[in-house]
Amino acid sequence: MRPTCPITPVQRAEGCSRLPPGFTQAAPFLRMDDGVYMLDMQDAPAFSDRTPDGTMDLEGFVDNARQRVRKIQDGRLRIPSEMPITEAHNTWVFNKPASLLVIPVGDLSQHVLLNILYMLQNGLVLYDDINDRAIPGIENFKDIVDPENIWPITFVEQWSLSELTVELGSSCYAGVLMLQAMGLGGWMYNGVDPFAMLGASGDKEIPGLGFRYDEDDRWPYPNPSGLEGVMEGFCPPHHADMRAAVEAACNRKFGPGGPFHPDTPGPWKDSRKVRSAAQVHDEKFRECVALQCQYVYDTFGKFPGTVPSMFLIMYLQAHHIDLEFYDEFYKPGAYLKTHADHMDRWHPE
């Protein structure tokens, strides 16, 4: 059985998208007419191994991906396509029937934590440039790192935010290429309130994706931190403290199914040897990371301290295009042959 087109075959369908996954700290949520879904790709094994000639079983890949889809809400996403939640230039198209919307959400708490782990491996520790002070107690780790070799908190968190933004945007762009190959209309865009989308609108009639969020007088915006049992941040309240979050991150890296566990399958001839070559973080290393992370949480009331724990910015939309509209108002070449052939190829009935 070949993959099926996910868009209802109605004319001039307005709406939203689908996206190839493969994020490290992110997950795509899918808004369809009958519900909201999550494609849980994190820590999943390869969906299809390549043959010696470099090809793969596409039907097997799609079947495996389909098994990772989880339904988290019934019905259409409860968020209005009107101002002020949706910017004026997107009200005509956002969250409409007969469309697909992909909402890639990034776990910025995990991304920052992993960057702090990476920094320590490379001889760097955090410095609180907002309060102009070193992390108290960091001097106790001078046998494994130079406490004077520092990265400012604001730089590390902005750097992590930028990295995650590139990841989310690039995945949406890859999705646009897939839409063109399939002959679907669509685009990548923002212009929808990210806090309302995650569930932090403050209005029970606009639950969005339903993420847990907290508020604090020290923060300019509410802070969504996770969706219980679906996508939980590497920070309190989803972990008891930042020491527990550090342990969870290390288990994800080195535990069963992790990228550095010897039993995790891989593309190498000796995958066990390659994966087990990574140095496992020892207890003192983890304590040093936890000290820095806990300082951020205690000082700013959340982790990360200056950026959201969960982040989204780009959306990917997919819908069928109205060929007659383009034929009437546009010059030839406004759409691809894949668009012209889409209905015959994907909806021959």
At 238-279, the pLDDT tens digits run 999 999 999 999 999 999 988 899 999 888 999 999 999 999
Position 184 in a domain: yes
Label residue 25 by pLDDT band (50, 70, 90): low
Q: What is the pLDDT of residue 24?
A: 57
| pTM (global) more than 0.95 | no
Q: What's the confidence (pLDDT) of residue 317?
A: 94
pLDDT at position 282 over 60: yes
**Residue 6 maps to a domain:** no
For the chain, the average pLDDT equals 90
Higher-pLDDT residue of 310, 60: 310
Domain-located, residue 10 = no
| Lookup: tokens for 225 | 């931190």
Place of tokens 């700013």: 300
- Domain containing residue 67: 26-346
Q: What pLDDT is stored for residue 60 in this prediction?
A: 87
For residue 119, being part of any structural domain is answered with yes
Q: What is the pLDDT of residue 10?
A: 41
pLDDT band at 179 (very low <50, low <70, confident <90, very high): very high
264: in domain: yes
Query: Is residue 22 pLDDT above 70, yes or no?
Result: no
Going by C-beta distance under 8 Å and a sequence separation of 6 or more, which residues neighbour residue 40?
Answer: 27, 68, 69, 70
User: What is the predicted pLDDT for the residue at 11?
Assistant: 35
pLDDT reading at 314 higher than 60? yes
Give 333: exposed, middle or buried? Use CB within 10 Å, 0-12, 13-18, 19+: exposed
Helices assigned H by DSSP within 74-200: 108-121, 153-182, 194-198
160: how many CB neighbours lie within 10 A of its CB?
24
Which tokens is 308 given? 């959201």
Question: Considering the domain boundaries, does residue 325 fall inside one?
Answer: yes
| Number of compact structural domains in the chain | 1
Percent of the chain residues topping a pLDDT of 90: 80
> How many whole angstroms separate alpha carbon 176 and alpha carbon 170?
10
How far is 108 from 164, CA to CA, in rounded Å? 7
Does a structural domain hold residue 168? Answer: yes
Query: What is the average pLDDT across 319-343?
Result: 96
Domain annotation covers residue 19: no
The yes-or-no verdict on residue 9 having pLDDT over 80 is: no
**Residue for token pair 């300019």:** 220
